[in-house]
């Protein structure tokens, strides 16, 4: 199981949100590049970066920061947030050095884009499935849909996606533990490589995610508040 330290960028700063709400923001650093270097120095093998401005608005003021980040670290980065065109995907891979792109809103609203991206880039395309009461949410979690998270998982698997970042919105940033049951259902019923996200609070949460077969776990607020030390998390992964 890969442990992914999370770096969420909003207005050029490292932040964490509560349940994805833009107004419930805590700033944990003014320099995302420095934060990426910090996690790399502590032994991280992969980073999970979210461009929150892109997720909410569909356009981003953070692209220069993201480019500097990929050039500063030697470990791979997966990036999500506002990626809604094949041209942007190509630019992120070819010009920015991103290893894996995460499509969220586009996976629901533009299935053709997802198909074309998977056909061209294969496993370098992942899908973010963000669930609220079992249904998928889009556009930075602001807009709920009537599509069940499980059905979306099955649909993207049929398209050729292998990796899904699965987030329970109610758990995200709350330090209340992940949604083990729904994460396990997603793993068992889709057969996808599921990277668990949202609510991971302590080492036992990570052990449980590994136990149910998660391919990875994203740790955000627990690292920033020092509830979990990265070295201890890596020892479980």
In whole angstroms, give the CA distance from residue 66 to residue 84: 17
Q: How many Å is the maximal CA-CA distance in the chain?
A: 42
Task: Map 159-224 to HEC letters.
Answer: HCCCEEEEEEHHHCCCCCCCCHHHHHHHHHHHCCEEEEECCCCCHHHHHHHHHCCCCEEEECHHHH
- Which residue out of 51, 53, 130, 168 is catalytically annotated? 130
Active site residue 130: yes
Active site residue 8: yes
The Cα-based distances of 176 to 43, 180, 211 in angstroms read 26, 12, 19
Residues noted as catalytic: 8, 130
């Amino acid at each position: 199981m890969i442990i992914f330290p999370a770096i969420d960028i909003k207005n050029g700063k490292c932040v964490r949100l509560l349940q994805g709400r833009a107004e419930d923001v805590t700033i944990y650093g003014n320099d995302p590049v420095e934060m990426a270097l910090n996690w790399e120095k502590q032994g991280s093998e992969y980073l999970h970066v979210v461009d929150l401005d892109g997720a909410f608005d569909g356009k981003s003021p953070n692209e220069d920061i993201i480019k500097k980040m990929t050039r500063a670290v030697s470990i791979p980065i997966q990036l999500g947030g506002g990626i809604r065109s094949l041209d942007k995907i190509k630019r992120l891979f070819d010009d920015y050095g991103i290893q894996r792109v995460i499509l969220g809103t586009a996976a629901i609203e533009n299935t053709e884009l997802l198909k074309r991206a998977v056909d061209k880039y294969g496993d370098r395309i992942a899908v973010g499935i963000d669930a609220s009461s079992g249904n998928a949410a889009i556009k930075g979690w602001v807009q709920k849909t009537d599509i069940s998270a499980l059905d979306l998982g099955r649909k993207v698997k049929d398209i050729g996606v292998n990796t899904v970042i699965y987030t329970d919105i109610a758990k995200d940033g709350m330090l209340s533990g992940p949604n083990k049951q729904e994460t396990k259902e997603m793993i068992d019923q889709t057969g996808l490589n599921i990277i668990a996200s949202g609510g991971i609070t302590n080492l036992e949460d990570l052990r449980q995610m590994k136990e149910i077969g998660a391919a990875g776990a994203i740790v955000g607020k627990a690292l920033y508040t020092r509830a979990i030390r990265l070295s201890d998390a890596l020892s479980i992964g």
